[in-house]
Amino acid sequence: MRRLLRLAALTLGTAAAWMLLLPRAPLRQPLAFSHARHAGMACAVCHRGALEQARAGIPEAAVCLKCHATAPRAAAAVKWDEAGRAQPIAWLRVSHLPDHVMFSHRRHVGLARLECTSCHAEVGASAVPPPRPPMRLDMNACLACHKREGANQDCAGCHR
Ligand code: HEC
Ligand code: HEC
Ligand code: HEC
Ligand code: HEC
Ligand code: HEC
């Protein structure tokens, strides 16, 4: 009996550990957008808020249609009509901070002149949409850079 209990506890423990260790399910974007194919363009053409606003923003279909009034090459494979033209593209956001944290792209990109890669690694150059954030943007990551750069480390600087 005791052995059985021990086994049950072990199984439960392992299951709990797995749930903690398991990464969040990878995201699947509605269209296989390739940053690499648009490498000649400034990031802010599509992410309009990156320099001046809190949110960088995800581009709406109108931005794409400036160049893609007709479906782009290899479009059959990417369901352009269905996802890209017929309706606003339902892009999913990969990076997410909880509501109690304040973050502004303007502050970091417009003022502090940090590169996008310092927080998003190579997303801007990749050939496929990232299934999950390539870098952790948790409190420790924020604080590590704030310490390094001599930026504000007060709780109230980041938390409402
Ligand atoms: C400034 C012009 C421009 C804008 C704006 C633009 N694209 Fe493109 N896009 C291109 C060019 C040029 C190519 C062709 C590259 C090639 O043929 O390899 C392309 C290729 C593509 C392809 C095909 C990629 C492949 O694997 O062959 C897709 C899908 C695509 N774009 C989606 C989008 C989406 C979605 C948007 C809006 C978020 C967008 N594009 C905005 C110029 C643009
Ligand atoms: C032609 C438009 C276009 C250009 C130019 C562009 N992006 Fe994007 N970007 C998108 C679209 C569409 C998505 C959403 C789909 C995806 O994740 O690939 C996206 C997603 C992202 C994301 C993920 C956002 C999230 O939720 O975490 C990052 C980071 C990003 N882009 C960075 C960049 C950087 C850096 C550059 C410049 C080097 C750049 N992008 C240039 C269209 C563009
Ligand atoms: C100091 C770190 C940092 C830098 C530098 C940075 N980002 Fe972000 N980015 C973030 C964080 C954190 C989020 C999530 C914000 C949230 O959930 O409110 C984010 C979210 C995004 C998103 C998702 C949509 C949105 O507006 O939330 C895009 C797109 C994006 N960033 C693009 C860029 C581009 C392009 C650059 C460079 C011009 C850039 N970022 C520079 C940290 C950064
Ligand atoms: C790669 C370095 C870096 C990372 C990562 C980073 N920051 Fe910053 N942050 C800075 C710098 C540098 C400043 C000072 C900008 C200025 O000149 O105002 C700053 C300023 C700020 C400010 C303004 C603080 C004030 O009151 O002066 C807030 C809020 C902030 N960051 C939040 C965050 C959050 C939240 C994260 C994590 C999601 C984060 N930062 C990640 C470098 C970074
Ligand atoms: C540079 C920005 C920054 C500063 C400064 C900062 N935090 Fe945070 N904090 C974050 C971010 C981003 C998150 C959300 C991501 C995470 O949970 O790591 C967070 C999350 C938290 C959480 C919630 C954890 C959870 O489980 O939801 C608490 C509590 C917290 N911070 C307390 C503090 C305290 C106390 C201080 C001051 C000693 C502080 N923070 C300073 C950025 C910051």
Provide the residue-wise pLDDT of the chain in tens; the chain has 160 residues: 455 455 455 444 444 444 444 456 788 888 888 999 999 999 999 999 999 999 999 998 888 888 887 666 655 455 566 655 556 778 899 999 999 999 999 999 999 999 999 999 999 999 999 999 999 999 999 999 999 999 999 999 999 8
Distance, in Å, from the CA atom of 16 to the CA atom of 136, rounded to the nearest integer, reads 22
The residues lining ligand 3, judged by C-beta closer than 6 Å to any ligand atom, are 43, 47, 50, 55-58, 93, 95-97, 103, 105, 108-109, 114, 116, 118-120, 137
CB 95 within 8 A of CB 133: yes
Q: From the CA of 64, how far away is ligand 1's center (Å)?
A: 7
Q: From the CA of 80, how far away is ligand 4's center (Å)?
A: 38
Ligand 1 atom closest to the CA of 61, numbered from 1: 37
Nearest CA to ligand 5 atom 26: 98
Sign of the C-alpha dihedral computed for residues 38, 75, 48 and 90 taken in this order: negative
Q: Is the pTM of this model over 0.95?
A: no
